[in-house]
Amino acid sequence: MSIEFLEAVIFDGLFAAVAAIGFSVISNPPRKAIYVSALLAAVGHGLRFFLMKNTSLDIGMASFFAAFSIGLFSIFFAKIIRCPAEVFSFPSLLPMIPGMYAYKTVLSLVKFMEHANDDTSTAIMVDIFRNGITTVFILFALVIGAAIPMFIFYKQSFMMTRLLK
Amino acid sequence: MTDKPDVHDLLNFLLDYATTLMGVGVHTSRIVRNTSRIASRFGYETDITMFQKTIIMSIRNNESPRVYSSVKRTKVLALNFRINSNLSALSWRTYDEQLPLSRITELYNEIMAEKNMSRWWVLFLVCCANAAFCRLFMGDVWAMCIVFVATLVGFFVRQEMMRRHINHHFVFVASSFIASLIGSSAIYISACTTPQIALATSVLYLIPGVPLINSIIDIIEGHVLVGFTRFVNACMLIICIAVGLSSTLLLIGIDSL
C-alpha cells in the first residue's frame, strides 16, 4: 500500500466527517453525538473507499460492510455516552448515499421522455435501469448493514440510555 | 402502591409522550418499549395501536377489570435526536428511580423546552457538509464552491418556508428547484471541469435519510403498517426532489449535459 493511497483514504474519511456533521445537525442531535457521528462516518466511508479500490467488491457490497462496521461501532459508542445507537449511526450513513447514481437516473428519465421515438431510447432504458437499480441496492445495503448489529444486540440497544446498570 | 396517580392523568401523559416520540422520528418499537416502561412503573399494562397520524392506547392493571383507552393525534415536529435520546433516558429513570408522575411531567417539560442549535449554525454546517459531499463524488474546487452557494440559498429558502408552514411537498420541490438551478450555473463556468457533479450534489441536502432508515427498521421489526407509511412518505419527498431537479434539467436543456 503506497503513501498516496493512504492519503486518499484519509482525505476521503475527512470529507465524509464534515458531511456527516452537517447532515446530523439537521436532526438536532445531542452535542456529544455530533463528534461520534463524524468519527463513524470517517471510518465507514474510508473503509468503503478502501474496499472498493483494494478488493473486487462492488459498491453495493462495500457499502454493506461499511454500514455494518458503522452499526457495530455505534452500539459500542452508545454504551459509552449513553445515547440510543441510531442517534449517530443514521447521520454517519448519509455521506454514503448514492447521490450520483440517483441523479443519473433522473437525468436519463428526463432524456427518455424527450427522445421518445428515437433509436437511442433502448440505450437510455439501460441507463435508467442500471443507475436506478444501483441506487436502490446501495440504499438497502446501507440500511440493512447498519440495522443488523442493532438486531444482534437487540436487548442492549434499548438499554443504552439507562443510567443504572 | 400508595403513590398511584389518577389513571386519566397517566394515560394523557403517556399519549403525549408517545405522540412526541412519533413526531421527532423514533422507530416504532422504541416508542412502544419506552411508553410501556413508564406505564409499568405505575403497575399498568399498555396496548398501543400505532398509525402515522394517530396513536391509540389502552391501559389496565391487574387490580381492576377496567380498561381505559384514548386516542391522540401525532404532533407535527421536526426530526430531533436530542429529544429522542433524553426521553428514552427519562423512561429508564422513571423505572429505576420510581419517580412520581408529577416529577416525570416536570422533567418531560424541561426536555421539551431545551433550545436547539441556532438556525444559522445549522445553515452554515449544512453548506459545508454538502460541499464536502461534492468532493466525495470527485468534484473539483469550483464545483464545491457552487454547491456551497446552492445549498446556502436552497436551505435558507427551505427554512423560511418551513417556518411559514407551507405545504411540505411544495417546499421540497421549490428548494430542490432553486438549489439545482444555482448548481447548474457550473455548466457555464469553463474553469469547472465537473459541472454534472455540482448539479447532482446541489440537491442532496434534502434527502430524507433518517425517515427512510426508520421505515426499513420498522418493516424489519414487524411494524409493517407504520413502516410502510413512513416509507411512502419518504419516497414522496424523494419524488418531489426529483421533480425540482428535472424542472431545472428541462429548463437548461438536456442536450448540454
pLDDT value of residue B257: 67
Tell whether B2 is covered by a domain.
Answer: no
For A32, which residue in chain B has the nearest alpha carbon?
Answer: B82
For B:75-104, CB contacts with A below 8 A are 78-86, 88-89, 91-93, 96-97
CB contact set of B113 (below 8 Å; sequence gap of 6+): none
Q: What is the Cα–Cα distance from A131 to A106, expressed in whole angstroms? A: 9
Residue A157 contacts residue A150 (beta carbons within 8 Å): yes
What is the per-residue pLDDT across A26-50, written as a single tens digit (0 to 9) for each? 888 888 888 999 999 999 999 998 8
**Residues B207, B126 share a domain:** yes
- Number of domains into which chain B is organized: 2
Angle, in degrees to the nearest 10, between helices B168-183 and B141-163 = 160
Specify the DSSP class assigned to residue A56: S
Tell whether A148 is covered by a domain.
Answer: yes
Spell out the per-residue pLDDT of chain B, length 257, in tens.
Answer: 456 788 888 999 999 999 999 999 888 989 999 999 999 888 899 999 998 899 999 999 888 888 999 999 998 888 888 898 899 989 988 888 888 888 899 999 998 888 888 889 899 999 999 999 888 888 888 889 999 999 999 999 999 998 898 898 999 999 999 999 998 888 888 887 888 888 888 998 898 888 888 898 899 888 999 999 999 999 999 999 999 998 998 888 766 66
Tell whether B39 is covered by a domain.
Answer: yes
Using a CB–CB cutoff of 8 Å, tell me whether B235 touches chain A: no
Distances (CA, A) of B110 to A30, B86, B104, B106: 15, 10, 10, 6
Q: What is the Cα–Cα distance from A35 to A66, expressed in whole angstroms? A: 18
Tell whether A49 is covered by a domain.
Answer: yes
Q: What is the ipTM of this complex?
A: 0.85
**Residues B182, B92 share a domain:** no
**Residues B93, B66 share a domain:** yes
pLDDT value of residue B3: 67
pLDDT value of residue A1: 66
Structural domain of A28: 3-97+140-157
Residue B181 contacts residue B151 (beta carbons within 8 Å): no
Tell whether A119 is covered by a domain.
Answer: no
Could you list the beta-strand ranges (E) of A108-147.
none
Specify the DSSP class assigned to residue B53: S
Segment B224-229 long-range contacts (CB within 8 Å, at least 24 positions apart): B225/B50, B225/B51, B226/B28, B226/B50, B226/B51, B226/B52, B227/B28, B229/B51, B229/B52
Q: What is the Cα–Cα distance from B136 to B249, expressed in whole angstroms? A: 23
Tell whether A23 is covered by a domain.
Answer: yes
**Residues B242, B147 share a domain:** yes
Which DSSP string corresponds to B94-132?
Answer: HHHHT--HHHHHHHHHHHHHSPPPPHHHHHHHHHHHHHH
Which DSSP string corresponds to B172-219?
Answer: HHHHHHHHHHHHGGGGG-TT-S-HHHHHHHTTGGG--HHHHHHHHHHH
Tell whether A131 is covered by a domain.
Answer: no
Q: What is the Cα–Cα distance from B106 to A18, expressed in whole angstroms? A: 37
Using a CB–CB cutoff of 8 Å, tell me whether A162 touches chain B: yes
Residues of A in contact with B220 (CB under 8 A): 144, 147, 151
Nearest in space to A164 (alpha carbons), one of B1, B22, B76, B37 = B37
Q: What is the Cα–Cα distance from B137 to A100, expressed in whole angstroms? A: 7
Q: What is the Cα–Cα distance from B116 to A30, expressed in whole angstroms? A: 9
Q: What is the Cα–Cα distance from B29 to B220, expressed in whole angstroms? A: 11
Structural domain of B139: 119-256
Helix (H) or strand (E) holding B45: strand B45-50
Spell out the per-residue pLDDT of chain A, length 165, in tens.
Answer: 688 888 888 888 899 999 999 888 888 888 888 899 999 999 999 999 889 888 888 888 999 999 999 999 988 888 888 888 888 888 888 888 888 898 889 888 888 888 767 778 888 889 899 999 999 999 889 988 988 888 888 777 777 777 654
For A:84-123, CB contacts with B below 8 A are 84, 86-87, 90-91, 93-95, 97, 99-100, 102-104, 106-107, 109-111, 114
Specify the DSSP class assigned to residue B164: T
- Number of domains into which chain A is organized: 1
Using a CB–CB cutoff of 8 Å, tell me whether B107 touches chain A: no
Specify the DSSP class assigned to residue B24: T
Tell whether A29 is covered by a domain.
Answer: yes
Q: What is the Cα–Cα distance from B129 to B147, expressed in whole angstroms? A: 10
Of the residues B113, B128, B157, the one at which a domain ends? B113
Using a CB–CB cutoff of 8 Å, tell me whether A82 touches chain B: yes
**Residues B186, B210 share a domain:** yes
Report the gap between the CA of A76 and the closest CA in chain B (Å): 16
**Residues B125, B230 share a domain:** yes
Tell whether B148 is covered by a domain.
Answer: yes
**Residues B100, B128 share a domain:** no
Q: Are the Cβ atoms of A163 and B137 closer than 8 angstroms?
A: no
